[in-house]
Every structure is written in structure tokens, then in C-alpha cells.
Structure 1
Amino acid sequence: MRSGLSFLKMVGLSVTMAAWLAAGSFAAEQTSDVPAWLRDHIGEGDGQIAQVVLQRARALYLRKVNEGVVKNPCYFAMDATRPNDLGNGRLGSRFYVICQADRSFRAISAGHGSGRNLKGVADFANGRECAKNFGNAMDSYLTTGGAYVTGETKTSFKGYYRVSTKQDAALTRSFVQFDGEGETANARPRAIGGHAAVTLKDICLRKNPRSPYANQNGYVPFGTLVDYSGGRSDGCTSWSPSDAQQIVPLLKDDPTTVYIYPESHDIEAVAQAAATRQSLSRAGLYWSAFCLKQIGTPKFWPKEVLEPILARYHKDPELPAQSPPVCKP
């Protein structure tokens, strides 16, 4: 993917732009006018993209290009109604990297928001396999469907982990900020974006004054490396480490669009159809049949409803965060 990036930026995008302009204008480009090479990827099978997801993702991309917000030759889409963890180490392909200029299409895995279970108050938690709950409330850890544009990328140090009996490595992770609109407009204050599905657990502090990451007392965090590519996130889009290494460089100083399906009106319509046992296809609706069978009825939790619940749940003052313990010898 990276090897073709220079070609895409130097030649491919200008060719694609010229073709669109010759046809009339960006505004005249209809979402139904999907090029033949891309239509071949439409479907609900493994590695394919549902028609409604592609149409909306493509329409968002063309709109942002027309507005002068985006010049990147690639754009992204995600179908959060599809399964994530298929079991036996297999991951579902539901995040799509679509590049107009070189006519490339990739389907990869991506995690969804875990949600939360507020014991005795509200349960909007999601399992690893399929997402049932969606929403846009602060501190909800839920995925919000809709339109985003990628922003800046920040790389931070997470700590050290053991590579071998005599060697440690530093974990740094890049985070791509998303900016939204409408129901996704609070993406920045929610710290919603994309990053590799890797972190450290069981962290303690180890003395290492020579490290450039050492604190004022000469300590650095040390933990166990965890790859949660088949797991859930705090509402962000998480990619496998290998996929993140290819995606993040595409976005350096070159924003693009991310469309995540489903939006709240999709969820509400599917929930109504499921409640009345109406055929989704006959109603012109879409949801992964596998996941709909697993979750029953999906639900969208709007921030206007969920944030007051979360505020009451957290009404007691929280204890200050404690520093990790010092590592045992």
C-alpha cells in the first residue's frame, strides 16, 4: 500500500480529478454511479461491502473532495453490523480501504466500541463478536455511525514490554483523530479516532534512568503486550498492528473521509422491523444477517438520554488515579 502512495498522490489523483471534472462536476456524480471495478466488490459475503455502506461512503468522500476538505486518493468505510471476532483466531473483514486512482479495494478487520454495563442502572455493553448497542454519549465507549474526516496523528509512548529474556522494547502507538458532523460532531471531545489494537496490561514502574521516556524519578512503565485485534475498543476504530502500519502513513498531512455504518436512523428502522418480524430486504433495510440473529434487536443510545444516566452514575467524586506499583525484582 505504501509503495503505491507516491504514485497515487503525484499522478493518480490528478487523473481521477480530471475524469470527474470532464464529466461535468463533482456535484453531478451520483452515488449510484459506482464504477464497474468497484461494483465487483459489492455484496454481503466475506470481503465484500454492502451497497448502502459503499454508496454513503463514496458520497461522503466526493462531497468532501468537492468542498476542498479532502485531496487524499483513498477513503475508508466500516460496516459495524458485521461480526468482528469469528472465533478460532479468525477476524471479520468489515473495514474498507478504497483507493480511486489505482482502483484498489481492501477489506480488513476493525474493532467496535465495548460499551458499558452500569450495574443496576443501564446495560449497553457489547460482546466481542457483534455490536448490539451504539451511541454518541461521552464516556459511553460506544461506536457512533456516521460521517468523519481524519485529523492529526499523535504518537505516544505506552511503556516497555519483554521481547526476550534479555531484551525489552518500547511500545509507541499512533492515534489518528477523527472529526465528525451531526451525531458524530463530538468525536474530538470523545477522543474518537483510529489506532492499532495493541496495549500494555499489568503495568508496573521499573527503574531505568537512561531511558528517554523516564520520569523525573528515573522510572518507566513496564507491562505485558496485548494484541486485542479481535476485541473491543473504547469507541474508537481499532486495527490490527500490521494493518495500522499501512493505514496511518496514508493519512500523514493528508486527511480523508471515514464513513461508519449504521447511523441512528438505520438502527431505529431495523429495530422496528425486527420487532414486527418484517423482512429487512423487503423494507429496503440492511444489517448483517449473522449478527442480527446474534443480537436480536439493536439499539441506539443518544447522548441526550445516556449522558444524564452516566452523570448520575458518577455523581460520587472519583478517587484520584493511583500511580502503578514499582515492579518486583
Structure 2
Amino acid sequence: MVLQRARALYQKKVSEGTVKNPCYFAVDATRPAGLGHRFYVICEADRTFRALPTGHGNGRNLKGIANFANGVRCAKNFSNALDSKLTTGGPYVTAEIKTSFKGYYRAAGRKPLPLMRSFVQFDGEGDTANARPRAIGGHPAVIVSWLCRMKAPGDPNADDEGYVPYGKLIDYSAGRSNGCTSWSPADAKQILAMVEDRPTTLYIYPESGDIVAVAREAKAGRSLSKAGLYWNASCLKEIRVPNFWPRETLEPALMKLRKDNPPAEPKPLPKCK
């Protein structure tokens, strides 16, 4: 089902002239993370198929409002609401790639290195149409956890006082993300090279209609296959019933929360010793 829909999306965008890339992508977000290879790279012209690990949206636990947090292994909650930090299933097309500075870190036995992380923007339609305001795309699953400010005179990334953030490199490959698609650094390098200046399609399963239908059958204890539905059996046993949180109902609560609790002014980092 996942691959059939991914192929149909790709063929549609090729026929429209939107996509000319010989390869396309799919994600089965109902499969386990970690060792579960659920990001698919399909290149029919070369007759090749690759399955890679990828993360899913971690969600949030907002006491007094709602708990839509996801575990590390299986995703139970999905949404397209702004600030939900959840994955949204449906059709996407890759767009421009942006690279940004994330800070310095020290590799074993080497001088501090800058982390320049690339991000490929996704454009969606339907439930995924707000991918840009949500900053939904794909990137390597690495970040620098800042510890202090390091003196770096002349560095183009330095602040007005000549300092750059320095910290520990965190690799969260195949773990949870803020709703984006994340890959290991090695896989990300290959994927980003494939889509640079050559857009292609990405289909993420499940869509909202799939989640609602599966939840209905799961609650009733009925067979998914007999109903023509699909969810990874291992994860369904773990989560029991999946949830889709509609943007129209969840987003107003999240926007009110943001308004009532503006982020505190960040404290300046201490200088590195």
C-alpha cells in the first residue's frame, strides 16, 4: 500500500512536469524506529530499492491540555498542527536546500569543528500543505548541544563580540525529531545530493484517513487486513490505537499556549575555559 501510493504520486508529478528526478522516496511511519528501516529510496530506471532508518515526530506532553507525545520506537500520535512537533502523512515534493551553522564541537583528538547542517524543504498538499510554516523537511539527525562561548575572532559565524557557540555533538539518528524526516549523517549526505536542484516526491504513510480508519477497527478488535487497512503489527501491539490530532482542533490550543507563555529571554552562554 505504501509503495503503491508513493509510485502513484511520483508518476502524477512526473506527468505534470513537476518532477524529473529518476528516483523517489517513501516512508512507512507505522514501522519501528531504531533498526527499523522505513525510509525507502526507489529508482525504477536503475531497478534499485534501498531501505534506510529515519526518525518520527516526538510530539509534546502538555499537562492540562493534551498528551500527544510519542515513544522512541513507535509513533502513536500524528498531526499537522503548528508547534505539535508531530509527523504528518501524505504527499510531499522536495524543494530548496538550506545550510545553517549549528555551533562548534570537538571530534576525538581534533581541533573544534563547525557543524554546518543542511535542510531540504518539503512542499506538501492537503494535510501536508502547511509544511513550510511548520518548517518540515529532511536533515541529518545531528545537533550541537551548546555548553559555552568560544573565542573565534574573524570567524564568519561569530557574534558581535567574536564568539561562537561550542558544545557536544549529539547524533539522534533514527530517533525522534520535531516532525521532520531525519537521517544518519552518511545517509543524509547521499539523499541531499540526489535532490539538489532535482526535486522529487516523498510519500509518508499514514495519512489522517488511514489513522482514523485503523483506530476505529483497532478499538473494535477487528482485523485490519479484512478491512483493507494496514499498520505495522509490532507497533500496533505497542501503541494499541493510533491518534490523528486535526490541526483545526489542536492548533488553537497550541497558539494560545504560545501567546500565554512567551519564551524566556535566553541567558548568555558562559565563556569557554
Range into which the TM-score falls when normalised by the shorter chain: over 0.9
1:290 aligns to 2:239 (yes or no): no
- AA at the equivalent of 1:74: C
Partner of 1:6: none
Distance in 2 (alpha carbons) for counterparts of 1:124 and 1:291: 16
1:74 aligns to 2:18 (yes or no): no
How do residues 25-174 of structure 1 correspond to structure 2 at under 5 angstroms?
52-85=1-34, 91-165=35-109, 167-174=111-118
Partner of 1:186: 130
User: Residue 247 of structure 1: which of 188, 191, 201 is its match?
Assistant: 191
- AA at the equivalent of 1:115: G
- Of structures 1 and 2, the larger Rg is shown by 1
Does the C-alpha gap of structure 1 residues 274 and 319 become closer, same or farther in structure 2, counting only changes over 3 Å? closer
Range 208-217 or range 265-274, more displaced: 208-217
5+ residue gaps, structure 2, are none
Range 115-124 or range 157-166, more displaced: 157-166
- AA at the equivalent of 1:258: L
Partner of 1:14: none
Partner of 1:17: none
Are the equivalent residues in 1 in contact too, given 2:13–2:201 (CA < 8 A)? yes
- AA at the equivalent of 1:53: V
5+ residue gaps, structure 1, are 1-51, 86-90
Partner of 2:170: 226
1:322 aligns to 2:266 (yes or no): yes
Does the C-alpha gap of structure 1 residues 118 and 71 become closer, same or farther in structure 2, counting only changes over 3 Å? same
Distance in 2 (alpha carbons) for counterparts of 1:227 and 1:164: 15
- AA at the equivalent of 1:71: K
Would you say how many aligned residue pairs link Structure 1 and Structure 2?
Answer: 273
Does the C-alpha gap of structure 1 residues 321 and 282 become closer, same or farther in structure 2, counting only changes over 3 Å? same
Does the C-alpha gap of structure 1 residues 209 and 323 become closer, same or farther in structure 2, counting only changes over 3 Å? farther
With the length of structure 1 as denominator, give the TM-score of the two structures. 0.81
User: Residue 180 of structure 2: which of 217, 228, 236 is its match?
Assistant: 236
CA shift, 1:326, in A, is 2.3
1:90-134 CA distance string (max 9 Å, x none): x21000000121111000000000000001210000010000000
Are the equivalent residues in 2 in contact too, given 1:270–1:286 (CA < 8 A)? yes
- AA at the equivalent of 1:167: K
Are the equivalent residues in 2 in contact too, given 1:203–1:324 (CA < 8 A)? no
The residue matched to 1:315 in structure 2 has which SS? helix
The residue matched to 1:125 in structure 2 has which SS? coil
The residue matched to 1:269 in structure 2 has which SS? helix
CA shift, 1:142, in A, is 0.5
Are the equivalent residues in 2 in contact too, given 1:271–1:299 (CA < 8 A)? yes
Distance in 1 (alpha carbons) for counterparts of 2:203 and 2:174: 21
- AA at the equivalent of 1:252: E
Does the C-alpha gap of structure 1 residues 324 and 73 become closer, same or farther in structure 2, counting only changes over 3 Å? farther
RCO (CA 8 Å, sep 6+): is it higher in 1 or 2? Answer: 2
- AA at the equivalent of 1:135: S
1:209-242 CA distance string (max 9 Å, x none): 1322212210001010010013100000000111
- AA at the equivalent of 1:64: K
CA shift, 1:312, in A, is 2.9
Partner of 1:270: 214
After superposition, the CA RMSD in angstroms is 1.2
Are the equivalent residues in 1 in contact too, given 2:146–2:165 (CA < 8 A)? no
The residue matched to 2:13 in structure 1 has which SS? helix
- AA at the equivalent of 1:183: D
The residue matched to 2:144 in structure 1 has which SS? strand
The residue matched to 1:199 in structure 2 has which SS? strand
1:256-312 CA distance string (max 9 Å, x none): 000000000000000000011000111110000000000010000011010112123
User: Residue 313 of structure 1: which of 243, 251, 257 is its match?
Assistant: 257
Indicate the structure with greater strand content. 2
Distance in 2 (alpha carbons) for counterparts of 1:192 and 1:205: 29
The residue matched to 1:220 in structure 2 has which SS? strand
Are the equivalent residues in 1 in contact too, given 2:152–2:162 (CA < 8 A)? yes
The residue matched to 2:2 in structure 1 has which SS? helix
1:167-204 CA distance string (max 9 Å, x none): 11111110000000001000011000000000011432
Large movers: runs of 4+ above 3 Å = none
